[in-house]
Chains A and B, each alone.
Chain A
Amino acid sequence: MSKKSIIWLIIIIIIVGILIWYGVSRKPAEEEVIKIGAILPLTGTAASQGESERKAIEMAVEKKNAQGGIDNRKIEVIFEDDATSNSPSKATEIIKKLIYIDKVQFIIGPVMSSEIEAVAPIANQENIVMIAFGAVTSPFSRFGRNVFTSSATFASENYKIDEFIGKQNFGKIALISVNTEAGLEIKKVLEEELPKYNSELISTELINLGVIDFKTNLLKAKEQNPDALYVFHIPALLGIIIKQAKELSIEFPILTFHNIEDPSAKTTGGDSLEGVIYTSPVRSEIGKKFFTDFEQEYGSEPNIFSDAAYDAVNLIFEAIERNGLEIDKIREYLENIKNYQGATGNISFDKNRDIKRDYIIKTIKNGQFVPYEE
């Protein structure tokens, strides 16, 4: 066959392949199943978090399906991994595939503010209800009418740490944070709140995602002679920052957020995490039950944000049970949620659709996560 014919053959085969796929996917009986799409970091630096979230969601779905589903329809969750593409605009491809090809009616996730930002318009345009969580920022209502969150912002943990800072008389705080929306929000809250406790933010280092050498940033912070160092990043890199800080003989206290409990922080940080002080959410009764159920089912503890994932999917169930599958009614129902008892605690959306949680101060002693004692 001539060169040209081979090429035409290939093109034809691919086109035919697409048409077959088109035909095959027009399966009937789609209506029997309620489909939910989940966009999670199943691989990558946040994989330990994403995997745990997936398990939490599956646990909820299994439970519901065991009860017969909703209105005799089973629930099916289609998981997609957004971490290997590592870019918000690629996340838009994932959500399009979920909506157009898998025909999901609801989306859980994504877990990063910039990705939520990128995919929210599509959820709004296609009238799909989306419940994101993780590194969200406020005001959440800016993401549009169909988008909700089941977790509080990282910045809201600030308020508790600021109290602590006040009590300990840390007059000067240095911040090292990843350069994302969440990081910027934390900086903003610090600048607003610290003066109330006779303290001030004397140095800020914003570092782009992907950088793994923080030595010069730590040095710059150290030069300012702060009383404490406040760190924010994804857990794997939190471990690296703290390890490098200890290597540089940084002696003053290191403060951080609840995501330090993620195992990937220990993998990279090891023993250097000893003595770190952080805010951790108070666990509700349902939260404690979720914890033990998860442990029983999977043999390990749930990771950070798994409770938020669990709540997200259960909120969807509840909304469907009370309103059927009408998106507009579901949206209205969710908008007006007050005092929903979830694994993360008491969920109420304020006028900005933000959630508030309560926190306690914990520390790492002998490798264990324990409440902080004076």
Chain B
Amino acid sequence: MIVVQLLINGIIAGSIYALVAVGFSLIYATNRFVHFAHGAFVTVSAYLIYTFFTLWGLNFYFSALLTIIVAGFLGWLVYKLVYMPLKKRKASNAVLLVASVGILILLENLMLLIFGADVKSVGFIQIRKGIEVLGGIITPLQIVIVVLVIILLLILWFFMKKSRLGKTMRAVADNPNLANIIGINAKRVCYLSFIIGTALAGIAGILVALEQNIEPIMGTGLMIKGFTGAIIGGVTSVPGSILGSYLLGLVENFGIWFLPSGYKDAIAFVLLFLFLLFKPTGILGLRGKYKEQKL
């Protein structure tokens, strides 16, 4: 049945977008600026797993772990070198946004320079025929991705709701000044969430590399999709950004059943533009005006 297949395609796409969106929105919720370069960290992570596993021949799971760690480290590096000095100088959100776009371009072109522009494959999963599920077809890898993303999101949800760090993150996201008064080190929380968010980008990079092959410019497209998903669902809300991403994945895949396939990206752009204009807080975002804050 077509509907089932489109549903499956939509969920697969949505899972990947959700993975990108959730790291991004974690960073946004606490730091309150648009870290557009997040997509580039996904790209960098994809190239990292390619380097560790395909080029250096290390064990796959070890490479994956290494990728996540290195990604987190690179996130810390960029935060310390660029964002922290800017924030210290009370740079406006606009400045941080433009700086993040600069970082995106910088990282993508570094990848281009180092690895070349051709499409790379990671080659861990051999091509296996899809399994039929309720009339639609899904490959084992795609099942793994969807399940993994769901598990990850559940872990994240647990973490945010129950763990101490998670709770302090939510407190900072809600009201940083108040959090400071209570004695929470908001600055530390901010950069910790940045590192965790980037590590999540690391996981996204690994899965995207396996499923879609690797190109230097893939980060921009993924960032736009992830960002759109986050905006649709509510960028300040981590569960919101997940919801929005799945919605986007579904709308895209059902949409291009009826429209010529060139319009796939157009669907995302139009949704992004409309939501930014009319409902920037998204479906699950904060009610009323969102709070802009500087630390």
Contact = CB atoms under 8 A, between A and B. Distances in A.
Nearest to B253: A216
Interface stretch (B82-90, B127-135, B277-285): B127-135
Contacts of B139: 247
B213 A220 contact: no
Interface string A26-50: 0000000000000000011101100
Interface stretch (A204-212, A340-348, A350-358): A204-212
Secondary structure at the A interface, as helix, strand, loop or mixed, is: helix
Contact of B129 (A208, A246, A264): A246
B257 A44 contact: no
A212 B119 contact: yes
Interface in B66-124: 112, 116-119, 121, 123
Secondary structure at the B interface, as helix, strand, loop or mixed, is: loop
B98 to A, nearest CB: 22
Contact of A247 (B2, B116, B127, B262): B127
Interface residues of B, number: 30
Given A43-B116, A43-B118, A216 B6 contact: yes
B117 A47 contact: yes
B112 A84 contact: yes
B260 interface: yes
A44 to B, nearest CB: 4
B132 A249 contact: yes
Interface stretch (A55-63, A265-273, A293-301, A309-317): A265-273
Interface size range of chain A in the complex: 35 or more
A41 B264 CA distance: 27
A219 interface: yes
A160 to B, nearest CB: 28
A249 B117 contact: no
A284 interface: no
Contact of B137 (A48, A84, A247): A247
Given A212-B213, A215-B9, A220 B257 contact: yes
A174 interface: no
Interface of A: 43-45, 47-48, 83-84, 179, 205-208, 211-213, 215-217, 219-220, 223, 236-237, 240, 243, 246-249, 264, 267-268, 270-272
Interface of B: 2, 5-6, 9, 13, 112, 116-119, 121, 123, 126-130, 132, 137, 139, 212-213, 215, 253, 256-257, 260-262, 264
- Counting from the closest, the 6 A-B pairs by CB-CB distance are A44-B117, A247-B130, A236-B119, A208-B262, A247-B139, A47-B118
